[in-house]
Amino acid sequence: MPAAVLNARSAHAAGVQRLLASYRAVPVTAPIRLAKRTSNLFRTRTNTRVPGLDTSGLTNVISIDAAARTADVAGMCTYENLVAETLRYGLAPLVVPQLKTITLGGAVTGLGLESTSFRNGLPHESVLEMDILTGAGDVLTASPTGNSELFRAFPNCYGTLGYTVRLRIELEPVERFVALTHVRFHSLDDLVAAMDGILMTGSLDGVAVDYLDGVVFGADESYLCLGRKTSDPGPVSDYSGQQIYYRSLRHERGVTTDRLTIHDYLWRWDTDWFWCSQAFGAQHPLVRRIWPRTLRRSSTYGKLMRIEQRFHLGDRIEQLHRRPPRERVVQDVEIPIERCAEFLGWFLNNVPIEPIWLCPLRLRGEERWPLYPIRPKQGYVNVGFWSTVPVGSIEGETNRLIEHKVGELDGRKSLYSDSYYSREEFDELYGGDSYRAAKKRYDPDSRLLDLYSKAVQRR
């Protein structure tokens, strides 16, 4: 075994021991949390002054088996660091969530998706096994055949059953470039029909599709972004500089084409946090020229957002202009594809937010995951929208309205942001009985927060 791999495994083992020591040092009456400098959650974080568990040794790629197309990865390793290693071998994770600071463990316990999800499903479906520090203080290896209850309940538990310290995942081959085709639609029905056809056949007009997502700018302007792996040399675009990726999609009719390196394709949305960097002035030409390229990334905008929330800067500005405060509407929802056009039409008529991101998905296998029970073989579209609206007459009025509509259409909502479900609604939607059984077995003393408390009550 190469010395580098031995050293990486030794460093990881030492990191696990430091994590365990920090866990055992926490009084049984004190809350437990991870020590993290960044977070991709949009819920209010409380008790951040409480010392977190030491994850300093759990941030690296442990090893890559190029022949087997697998990687052993520490739970707190970011996809940015993971992809940097796998691309050396012409490989990538089956699903690479679109923001660089998302960790592999976070994407599994909190779900994630991207433009390969129409063929590769969700990140946890490519996990072969994982070592988890449970609420009981044990490090257990969970797989489809060992501690399988924990393995199946872990996706969407948001760390309330434990924390991953190591994951073994599948990888897939990639090419050096991605050839892009941007197809404009003037009808939401036509857009959704095209997505459905690609989900069924993996192609459009006989041309294979390897990557698929889309953007809605309005009822009569939407786009599918089709990507194809290619090794053919040629010029490529660069959207980490003055040009802005989402603006490049827009055209009057028909199709346009583009090319990116595989690295730049995977991180095409990170540079401007999709389009949300506009709120910080980062898309203004003059500001962009002086904004350091290394700071044009989602982690920078996230820090600015947390400063804004801490000091309520947005509401202060609204008050100065004699306008009402604004409600944060930052959500991703999964809608059955046959109801997607209906949801988009309703959303555009009722919620003043655009653009809207679309990401088709279908579970890769036959497995049902109890805490996020979308159906195997069923096509869904992830609809993402991230902005603010004027406050209503009750707390979270627009978010509640969206939750109701998603439920009406037999959809599901991701739990990384604000939620307003009753306990009964939440249990029905997110596998309450299965969760409680796993919680009783793997966190019998409730050292970790309950999922409902973490996802809904912590505001």
Could you tell me how many residues make up the chain? 459
pLDDT of amino acid 34: 86
Task: Tell me, yes or no, whether 234 lies in a domain.
Answer: no
Mean pLDDT of the chain: 95
**Which tokens is 125 given?**
């479906």
The residue-averaged pLDDT of 193-210 equals: 97
Q: Say if residue 180's pLDDT is above 80.
A: yes
Q: CA-to-CA distance for 194 and 183, rounded, in angstroms?
A: 10
Minimum mean pLDDT among 4-18, 154-168, 210-224, 267-281: which range?
4-18
Q: Say if residue 172's pLDDT is above 90.
A: yes
Task: Tell me, yes or no, whether 282 lies in a domain.
Answer: no
Task: Tell me, yes or no, whether 205 lies in a domain.
Answer: no
The residue-averaged pLDDT of 233-243 equals: 96
Check residue 457 and report its DSSP letter.
I
The residue-averaged pLDDT of 337-364 equals: 98
* DSSP, residue by residue, 343-395: HHHHHHHH-----EEEEEE--SSS---TTS-PPTT--EEEEEEEEEEE--SST
The residue-averaged pLDDT of 330-337 equals: 98
Task: Tell me, yes or no, whether 157 lies in a domain.
Answer: yes
Tell me the pairing of strands 211-218 and 221-230. antiparallel
More confident residue, 76 or 46: 76
Q: Say if residue 41's pLDDT is above 80.
A: no
Task: Tell me, yes or no, whether 69 lies in a domain.
Answer: yes
Task: Supply the CATH number for residue 137's domain.
Answer: 3.30.465.10
pLDDT of amino acid 108: 98
Task: Tell me, yes or no, whether 58 lies in a domain.
Answer: yes
For 137: left if phi > 0, alpha if psi spans -120 to 50, otherwise beta; the answer is left
The residue-averaged pLDDT of 145-167 equals: 97
Q: CA-to-CA distance for 257 and 225, rounded, in angstroms?
A: 9
The residue-averaged pLDDT of 307-316 equals: 88
pLDDT of amino acid 458: 62
In three-state secondary structure terms, 447 is: coil
More confident residue, 47 or 67: 67
CA dihedral (134, 139, 143, 146) positive or negative: negative
pLDDT of amino acid 65: 98
The residue-averaged pLDDT of 94-105 equals: 97
Q: Say if residue 231's pLDDT is above 80.
A: yes
Instruction: Please say whether the beta carbons of 391 and 323 come within 8 A.
Output: no
pLDDT confidence bin for 203, thresholds 50/70/90: very high
Q: Say if residue 78's pLDDT is above 80.
A: yes
pLDDT of amino acid 43: 66
Q: CA-to-CA distance for 98 and 121, rounded, in angstroms?
A: 15
Identify whether 292 is preceded by a cis peptide bond (ω within 30 of 0): no
Q: Say if residue 47's pLDDT is above 80.
A: no
Check residue 347 and report its DSSP letter.
H
Span 390-438, pLDDT tens digits: 999 999 999 999 999 999 999 999 999 999 999 999 999 999 999 999 9
pLDDT of amino acid 395: 95
Q: What end-to-end distance do the CA atoms of the chain give, in Å?
A: 49
Domain residues for the domain of 131 are 3-174+445-457
Task: Tell me, yes or no, whether 370 lies in a domain.
Answer: no
Q: CA-to-CA distance for 157 and 271, rounded, in angstroms?
A: 29
Task: Tell me, yes or no, whether 61 lies in a domain.
Answer: yes
Q: Say if residue 359's pLDDT is above 90.
A: yes
Overall number of domains in the chain: 1
The residue-averaged pLDDT of 53-63 equals: 95
The residue-averaged pLDDT of 100-120 equals: 97
Q: What residues contact residue 250 under an 8 Å CB cut-off, 6+ apart?
A: 217, 221, 223
Residue 161 pairs with which residues in a beta bridge? none
The residue-averaged pLDDT of 382-386 equals: 98
Closest CA to 203 of 114, 125, 118: 118
Percent of the chain at pLDDT > 70 equals 97
